[in-house]
Chains A and B, each alone.
Chain A
Amino acid sequence: MSASTSSQQEMETVVQHALESAARAGASQADVLLVEGDDREVRVRGEEIEFVKQAQERGLGIRVLVDGKEGRQTSIVSTSDLAPDAVARMAAEAVALARATAADPTAGLPDDGFATDLPDLALFDPADRNVALEARIEDAKRAEAAARGFDPRITNSEGSQASSGHARVVYGNSRGFLGSYESASHGLFSEPLAQEGDSMQRDYWMTSARRLADLEDAAAVGRKAAERAIRRLGGKRVATCEVPVIFDGMTAPSLIGQVASCVSGYSVYRESTFLGDKLGESIAATDVTIIDDGRLPGGLGSKPFDGEGQPTRRNVLVDGGVLKTWLLDTYSGRKLDLPSTGSAARGTGSAPRVGTTNLWLEPGEKTLDELIGELDRGLVVTELIGMGFNPTTGDYSRGAAGLWVENGEIIHPVEEITIAGNLGDMLQSIDRIGSELVWRGRTAAPPIRIASMTVAGE
């Protein structure tokens, strides 16, 4: 379906036209994001293809700023209609919309500091450009067959899904910045069901990467998913207690993501984060180092410039337990009297906001198996459900499933429990960090052990 995708030059022409239209309609500043992509997705369940989905998508987002009495008035419009007259009409509508809002002294494009170097971050392998749909169907089939064939107790599945997407991003603004990049992402996901007696359990495993060649082997994805589903069979509640809790490599990244959301400049100036007065202070155990780096080669969160055209970079958020920086875009930076950290995330339909790129917790020395071996009595969390986290207070309480450990041995699977604490206390009481750091998305973390949390069960 890639035959009719626009060229980079055609896309740049649309962006320039939108910027000119905004200026003509009365905008004092504007920026424009144009994204075009094509995506393929296929799911196989059992031996049958369940669906094949193919699409080409494009989106144009225009932000205009109009000079008001004490600041600038802002609006954002988006559309998929790229015809020149439609774009001019949307730009004019945006200006009219902006004039109805209030002037904000902080609003505006970055004054300077736009990216001048656009390094090749290996976001796209030309060899993958025309990957055959059949090849991805084959991947899904292999994962599914491996999962189904792993053990007789794997009786069913939600299927195995392969996806491949390619996108080109062009961003330009009225300060003269115009940049673009191409990126791809490929994924494979398998979700089998295990059954024994009355117990039925599902679990999943996944891999994703910028290059097809970097995906985990399809059969390994299926086997790993099956292994995880089987080990949940016979899960039960445990008595309510306070014990050490190990988050595995699948669940630990969510904790790191929550830390990042609490150091976003927006939550800081809105006073809606429990870390709001902790800059420069110890917020975690001394071996906790958390980094966000937008320029990791091949990283799933990598991009050469952020949503405002600022260069992406490496930001060490937490160094040896000490909170070193907020994550900032231009607006939240101005609110806090600080420069942008190149952390603006922008979708076609939204204003720039703070986002992470490639976010991770630096690994420690011991493997997950070793951490389990050292545990006298406690819980390994392999899945979290629900949204029980309050960034304003740090209060944390989520549904969990996992494995109960006694004397260094896994005794039985656990389900229908919650784990609770306060993220501030949890970070301070991290007493082990594992060695395995695997990227399955934009956020990664090795296993983490927290010295004590409340496990609620029977």
Chain B
Amino acid sequence: MSASDPTETSADRALDFFRDRFDLDDRSLATALDTALERQVDYADLYFEYTTTDSVSLEEGIVKSGDRHLEQGVGVRAVRGERQGYAHSDDISVESARLAAGTARAIADETREHAPVAIATGSGGHDLYPISTAPTDVPVAAKVDWLNEIDAYARAKSPKISQVMASIVCQHKHTLVAASDGTRVADVLPLVRVNVQVLAADGSRREVGYQGAGGRFELEEMRDPARWQGLVDEAVRIALLNLEAEACPAGAMDVVLGPGWPGILLHEAIGHGLEGDFNRKKTSAFSDKMGQRVAAEGVTVVDDGTIPGRRGSINVDDEGTPSKRNVLIENGVLVGYMQDRLNAGLMGVEPTGNGRRESYAHLPLPRMTNTFMLAGEEDPEEILSSVENGLYAVSFGGGQVDITSGKFVFSASEAYRIEGGRIGRPVKGATLIGNGPDVLTRVTRIGHDLALDEGVGTCGKDGQGVPVGVGLPTIRVNDLTVGGTEG
């Protein structure tokens, strides 16, 4: 167990970590950067990472395995115009960084004289997830006991529950970014997640229910029975509900989305389309739409990396830019893109703190953090009763978007028919498909019940996964295509 000084920020602790363990001080960082700058590059940066991940999982009533993984390395990038050279090594040392810098700089031919890099000791941004015990330091035995409690609790909920799978996944990540402009920022990021999946059986019919939750906080926060039992209750409820669910209708209809996780609509329909790289290259359906109306009046969408403890939150991004609260759509009008350094520079705007990467082995890209729609004023009940016949979708699995055509899909894990303005029969397997640039223009009602998701989202782009969050109040969207099998 590592006890830490509560007055130290995550940034301080990460700097100490890399200095004490790997001899990475300002001088050695400058030396590695100097190697990259010997060629005609605009900019170079180093990204050091040391991540411990552990997971313990239960199946068939026993905790069958414990895993512990160590991932460490350095990625070095040299940038010239739109061109990036990248090399990485799984060894954390100044020598490895210098070697990688020698490879990364190969995108530029000409050598040059340059002033030595002067590392600046700037502020580390926010301190959004201070913890005193790393989740990976919580003893495995405690996690095993907890999983056994989850199993017993789930099985006691209903005789129809035939299988329970549960896992506790903890991550503790140290990062250090140093760049040729003197940027030097470090961070320690905790991440926890508890997953519960149950299988309900009734005769020959079987259905799965899943619920997970987590964020950047101490594992202890999830240990409160009210919190984890709530997850199990949900997983069991969804599995049992789906045993009763009917085939989903097919065709265009009015849809009411519930609060929280259905915010994946924003992530897929507009979020990716507003990432700086696609807009700089003009490959997004949202290219050149800045200042134009892309959503109904009253729709304001924000990407906010600064919410304490959230899964998608970051003190600084993976290029050293402090995270921000960025308004993307304000009262229906497109006002902002999400940027990393490269694309912001090429577009002549400021970085927005959205330069993120999966690991040292990946180039940073403009990515979302926590993306949500601000609350409106309407009563969710009234929104439901405003729809005569349609679909009410409460929870979702995954989604995907085609940036260029703007077409997106997301799949409901809990949905109901709306019949005569009331919640009707549950339906299963509903996939919703729509067109990003116009779907938000068809939002006709916005509830006052904004909620963020439970903290389980992972976004994939270019083969890189990063943790994200979404949020939504209850909204009504007209004329969305629902992909079921029933007429």
Binding site for B on A (CB under 8 A): 1, 45, 48-59, 74-81, 90, 93-94, 97-98, 100-104, 107, 156-158, 193, 200-202, 232, 235, 237, 240, 270-272, 349-351, 383, 385-388, 390, 392-393, 395-399, 401, 415-422, 454-458
Nearest residue (CB) in B for A155 is B282
User: Is A456 touching B484 in the complex (CB atoms < 8 A)?
Assistant: yes
The yes or no answer to B7 lying at the interface (CB within 8 A) is: no
Q: Which of B360-410 contact A (CB under 8 A)?
A: 361, 363, 397-405, 407-410
Distance A395 CA – B165 CA, assembled complex (angstroms): 21
Chain A residues lying within 8 Å of B71, measured Cβ to Cβ, are 80
Q: Are the CB atoms of A76 and B65 closer together than 8 Å?
A: yes
Q: Is the CB of A419 within 8 A of B483?
A: yes
With A55-B89, A454-B484 known as contacts, the answer to whether A387 contacts B397 (CB < 8 A) is yes
How many A-B contacts if CB must be within 8 Å?
A: 248
Q: A201 contacts which chain B residues (CB < 8 A)?
A: 404-405
Give A166 to B29 CA distance when docked, in angstroms.
Answer: 31
Q: Kindly state the separation between the CA atoms of A364 and B29 in the bound complex, as whole angstroms.
A: 61
Does A97 lie within 8 Å of B428, measured CB to CB? Answer: no
- Give the docked Cα–Cα distance between A54 and B78 (Å): 12
Q: Are A202 and B484 in contact (CB under 8 A)?
A: no
- Check if B208 sits within 8 Å of A232, measured CB to CB: no
Q: Is the CB of A418 within 8 A of B405?
A: no
What 3 A-B pairs have minimum CB-CB distances, sorted nearest first? A418-B483, A399-B409, A386-B409
B349 located at the interface, meaning its Cβ lies under 8 Å from any Cβ of chain A in the complex: no
Answer whether A456 and B251 are a contact pair too, CB < 8 Å, given A271-B201, A387-B400, A398-B431.
Answer: yes
Across-interface contacts of B401 in A (CB, < 8 A): 385
Q: Decide if A397 touches B248 in the complex (CB within 8 Å).
A: yes
Question: Which of A48, A55, A59, A156 lies in contact with B283, CB distance below 8 A?
Answer: A156
B252 with A397: CB separation less than 8 A: no
CB-based contact B207/A202 at 8 Å? no
Q: Are B483 and A270 in contact (CB under 8 A)?
A: no
CB distance from B164 to the nearest CB of A (A): 11
Query: Knowing A52-B106, A271-B206, A385-B409 touch, does A397 contact B282 (C-beta < 8 A)?
Result: no
Residues of B in contact with A, size category? 35 or more
**Interface residue? B477 (CB, 8 A):** no
Instruction: Tell me if B141 and A53 are in contact (CB < 8 A).
Output: no
Q: Across the interface, which residues of B come within 8 angstroms of A387, CB to CB?
A: 397-400, 411
- Out of A59, A399, A419, name the residue touching B407 (CB < 8 Å): A399
Please name 12 further chain A to chain B contacts, defined as beta carbons within 8 Å, in addition to the given A80-B90, A81-B72, sorted by A numbering: A50-B83, A57-B88, A74-B64, A97-B66, A97-B67, A102-B63, A102-B64, A272-B206, A349-B69, A390-B428, A397-B483, A398-B431
Could you say which residues of chain A place their CB within 8 Å of the CB of B227?
A: none
Measured CB to CB, the closest approach of chain A to B262, in angstroms, equals 15
- Asked if B135 is at the interface (CB within 8 A of a chain A CB), the reply is no
SS of A interface (majority)? strand
**B124 at the binding interface (Cβ < 8 Å):** no
A397 with B251: in contact, given A50-B82, A51-B85 (CB under 8 Å)?
Answer: no
Write the chain B residue with the least CB distance to A272. Answer: B199
Interchain residue pairs with CB less than 8 A apart (9): A1-B87, A54-B86, A272-B163, A349-B69, A386-B410, A395-B428, A397-B483, A454-B483, A458-B481
Which residues from B are CB-within-8-Å of A52?
A: 84-86, 106-107
- Whose C-beta in chain A lies nearest to the C-beta of B285? A200
Alpha-carbon distance A421/B399, docked complex (angstroms) = 19
Q: Which residues of A contact B89 (CB under 8 A)?
A: 55-56
**Contact call A232/B90, Cβ cutoff below 8 A:** no
- Inter-chain CA distance A308–B86, complex, in Å, is 35
Q: How far is the CB of A120 from chain B (nearest CB, A)?
A: 29
Instruction: Confirm or deny: B223 has a beta carbon within 8 angstroms of a beta carbon on chain A.
Output: no
Chain A nearest Cβ from B67, distance in angstroms: 5
Chain A proximity of B352: nearest CB distance (Å): 21
Residue among B87, B89, B250 facing the most chain A CB atoms (10 A cut-off): B250
If the complex has contacts A57-B361, A202-B405, A240-B250, are A416 and B433 also in contact, measured as CB distance less than 8 A?
yes
Interfacial chain A residues near B207, Cβ < 8 Å: 392-393
Smallest Cβ-Cβ distance to A237: which chain B residue: B481
Asked if B429 and A416 make an inter-chain contact with CB atoms under 8 angstroms apart, the answer reads no
B157 contacts the other chain (CB 8 A): no
Is B68 engaged at the interface, CB distance under 8 Å to the other chain? yes
Report A-chain residues with C-beta under 8 Å of the C-beta of B434: 416
Do B411 and A388 touch across chains, with their CB atoms under 8 A apart? yes
| Contacting pair A97 B106 (CB below 8 A) | no
Type the 1/0 row for B321-340, where 1 means its CB is closer than 8 Å to any CB of A: 00000000000000000000
User: Are A102 and B62 in contact (CB-based, < 8 A)?
Assistant: yes
Q: Which chain A residues border B430 with CB–CB below 8 Å?
A: 397
Residues of A within 8 A of B483 (CB): 388, 397-399, 417-420, 454, 456
Contact pick for B63, options A53, A101, A396, A456, CB 8 Å: A101
Q: Is the CB of B199 within 8 A of A385?
A: no
Residues of A within 8 A of B65 (CB): 74-76, 101, 351
Determine which of B86, B140, B403 lies in contact with A53 in the assembled complex, contact meaning CB atoms within 8 Å. Answer: B86
Task: Establish whether residues A75 and B68, one from each chain, have CB atoms under 8 Å apart when the complex forms.
Answer: yes
B481 engages A393 (CB within 8 Å): no
Q: Does B31 contact A (CB under 8 A)?
A: no
Q: How far, in whole Å, are A279 and B208 apart by their CA atoms in the complex? A: 22
CA distance A76 to B53 in the complex (A): 12
B70 within 8 A of A: yes
Whether A397 lies near B431 (C-beta < 8 A) is: yes
A383 to B65, CA, bound (A): 38
Task: Please encode chain B, from 157 to 178, with 1 for each CB lying within 8 Å of some chain A CB and 0 for all others.
Answer: 0000011010000000000000
Q: Is the CB of A104 within 8 A of B64?
A: yes
Residue of B nearest to A96 (CB): B140
Cβ contacts B81-122/A at 8 Å (1 or 0 each): 111111111110000000000010011000000000000000
- Our pick among B91, B251, B398, B408 for the contact of A240 (Cβ within 8 Å) is B251
User: Judging by beta carbons under 8 Å apart, are A457 and B252 in contact?
Assistant: yes
Q: Which residues of B contact A458 (CB under 8 A)?
A: 251-252, 481
Which chain B residue has the least Cβ–Cβ distance from A229?
B404
